[in-house]
């Protein structure tokens, strides 16, 4: 006979002791709130398998409810963290939009002032300066000047620079050109 078979066929006193130990371990493993609800079995009353099954069945709903409560609390904490992050992002988005508006207003004013500067310059001096500027900016300035003044400036530029600016200007007015760079 193996040790396992000895336990199965052991006298009732050994079986009762083992069941009492199992019930005690079960109660010690439960959270404090549940331990108060369950009374310890009396020392003189033997516990059988049905009572243990009944005990486990009775605490299963309470344990499940406790798990759900803990999960709900975790989810509420996570939702609070997400809400805080969303609020921070919204605040930063508003700051960025304000900064972008101020930047665009500044660029518009600077462009108007820059065009005014080149409008008062002599064509040969304006051509020399625009040859050194980024071709996109130079093309934008030339497009804003009166056509007569723009032609005088382009005629004073080197052929290569004038061709680059002409290409930029013509591509800007081409309706088939995509607005999104790709």
In this predicted structure, the answer to whether residue 63 has a pLDDT above a threshold of 90 is no
CA 151 distance to own-chain centroid: 52
Q: Select the more confidently predicted residue: 166 or 35.
A: 166
Dihedral pair phi/psi, residue 96, rounded to 5°: -65, -45
* Unique residue bearing structure tokens 């000047």: 145
DSSP 44: T
Q: Which pLDDT score, from 0 to 100, does residue 60 have?
A: 77
Q: Which pLDDT score, from 0 to 100, does residue 35 have?
A: 44
Tens-place pLDDT, residues 96-145: 999 999 988 887 877 788 888 889 999 999 999 999 988 888 888 898 89
Name 33's Cβ contacts closer than 8 Å, sequence gap at least 6. 66
Q: Which helix (H) or strand (E) holds 126?
A: helix 123-132
Q: Which helix (H) or strand (E) holds 95?
A: helix 49-120
Name 156's Cβ contacts closer than 8 Å, sequence gap at least 6. 123, 124, 126, 127, 128
pTM above 0.75, yes or no: no
Tens-place pLDDT, residues 64-82: 888 999 999 999 999 999 9
Q: Which pLDDT score, from 0 to 100, does residue 56 have?
A: 78
């Amino acid at each position: 006979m193996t040790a396992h078979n000895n336990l199965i066929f052991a006298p009732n006193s050994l079986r009762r002791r083992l069941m009492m130990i199992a019930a005690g371990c079960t109660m010690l493993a439960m959270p404090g709130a549940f331990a108060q609800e369950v009374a310890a079995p009396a020392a003189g009353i033997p516990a059988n398998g049905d009572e243990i099954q009944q005990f486990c069945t009775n605490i299963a709903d309470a344990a499940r409810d406790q798990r759900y409560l803990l999960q709900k609390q975790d989810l509420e904490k996570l939702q609070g963290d997400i809400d805080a992050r969303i609020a921070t992002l919204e605040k930063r988005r508003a700051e960025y939009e304000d900064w972008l508006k101020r930047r665009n207003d500044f660029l518009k004013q600077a462009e108007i002032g820059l065009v005014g500067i080149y409008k008062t310059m002599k064509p040969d001096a304006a051509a020399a300066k625009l040859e050194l500027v980024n071709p996109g900016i130079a093309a934008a300035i030339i497009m804003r000047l009166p056509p007569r003044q723009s032609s005088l400036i382009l005629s004073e530029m080197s052929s290569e620079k004038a061709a680059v600016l002409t290409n930029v200007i013509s591509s800007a007015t081409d309706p088939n050109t995509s607005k999104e760079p790709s």
